[in-house]
């Protein structure tokens, strides 16, 4: 399944895997929210609640589409966060991995500013 993520300065698409959290997110689309930034990560509330899945991870590749269960939020890392070690993308806590951005350069997310309106819809 493919989603489109858009904000004032740009947009990207992502492909989601067939997971329980991805299905719950898709059922809630479209979502409009306010973007938050944390180091080189964009995250925002989805209004979706999900349990931590068995393969949840805290360290992921840049461009991973993750779901932060503690904040009911989509987490989109594109580089290091304040708690990263070296150049890794370390999320605040283990997150469900939903898929990845289709864009070969996840730094497209660097144009998202804290407080920007952000929208997620089926592509």
Q: What is the pLDDT, as a whole number, of residue 23?
A: 97
Q: How confident is the model at residue 33 (pLDDT cuts 50, 70, 90)?
A: very high
pTM for the predicted model, two decimal places: 0.97
SS3 sequence of 56-110: CEEEECCCEEEEECCCCEEEEECCCCCCCCCCCEEEEEEEEEEEEECCCCHHHHH
Percent of the chain with pLDDT over 90: 98
Q: How confident is the model at residue 72 (pLDDT cuts 50, 70, 90)?
A: very high
Q: How confident is the model at residue 15 (pLDDT cuts 50, 70, 90)?
A: very high
Q: How confident is the model at residue 70 (pLDDT cuts 50, 70, 90)?
A: very high
């Amino acid at each position: 399944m493919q989603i489109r993520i858009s904000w004032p300065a740009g947009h990207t698409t992502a492909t989601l895997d067939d997971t329980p959290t991805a299905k719950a997110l898709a059922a809630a689309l479209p979502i409009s929210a306010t973007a938050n930034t944390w180091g080189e990560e964009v995250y925002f509330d989805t209004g979706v609640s999900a349990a931590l899945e068995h393969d949840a991870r805290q360290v992921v590749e840049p461009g991973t589409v993750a779901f932060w269960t503690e904040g009911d939020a989509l987490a989109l890392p594109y580089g290091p966060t304040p708690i990263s070690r070296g150049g890794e993308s370390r999320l605040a806590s283990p997150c469900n991995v939903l898929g990845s951005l289709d864009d070969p350069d996840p730094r497209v997310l660097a144009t998202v500013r804290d407080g920007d309106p952000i929208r997620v819809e089926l592509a």
